[in-house]
Amino acid sequence: MNFKELREKNKARCNEYFHELYQWDFSQWTNAMAGEVGEACNFSKKLLRLNSTIYSQKFTDKEKKKKEKKWKSALSKELADVVIYADLIASRLNLKLEDLIRDKFNQVSDELDCPYKLGEENDS
């Protein structure tokens, strides 16, 4: 899977199974993405709480491991939803998500005088 495949299938699925991409304005798209970020934060909070002294005493080690696995899995799915929405927003703006990520990553690296850079568009 790459960004090009994500864009093609993400846009097609949106248009065919939900609504036309341009039917929503930018605030609707960003609000939807913010909802997914909020859900990710909630699972992150649960993981943090699971390791706190008071809360963690309520569970056996086996129960903690089970909850940790469940919440990490849920967190990972919410992170994927964030990226999927980010791609739809970029598509709505007629921009490529990979270009946005590369440019922003490299900008921060430049500001830090850091040698880590992402390749040009042709490298992906």
Q: Write out pLDDT tens, residues 64-119.
A: 999 999 999 999 999 999 999 999 999 999 999 999 999 999 999 999 999 999 99
pLDDT of residue 55: 80
Span 1-25, average pLDDT: 97
Contacts of residue 114, defined as CB under 8 A and 6 or more positions apart, other chains included, come to 108
Distance CA 108, CA 28 (A): 28
Give the Cα-Cα-Cα angle 111, 116, 118 (nearest 5 degrees): 100
Show me where the domains of the chain are located: 3-18+25-93
pLDDT tens per residue, range 62-74: 999 999 999 999 9
Distance CA 92, CA 19 (A): 13
Percent of the chain at pLDDT exceeding 90: 85
Q: Does pTM surpass 0.85?
A: yes
Report H helices in 1-124: 3-13, 26-50, 53-56, 61-92, 97-111
CB 102 within 8 A of CB 90: no
pLDDT of residue 120: 65
